[in-house]
Amino acid sequence: MLRVLESKASAGDVAIAVTSAAMRVCGGAAFSKHLAIERLFRDAHAGAVMAPTGDVLRDSSAKPFWEYRCSERESTAPVAARGKRD
pTM of the entire predicted model:
0.62
**What pLDDT is recorded for position 54?**
73
Task: Please tell me the distance from the alpha carbon of residue 39 to that of residue 32, in angstroms, as a whole number.
Answer: 10
3-class secondary structure per residue, the chain: CHHHHHHHHHHHHHHHHHHHHHHHHHHHHHHCCCCCHHHHHHHHHHHHHCCCCHHHHHHHHHHHHHHHHHHHHHHHCCCHHHCCCC
The per-residue pLDDT for range 30-72, each reduced to its tens digit, is 888 888 999 999 999 998 887 677 777 777 777 776 676 677 6
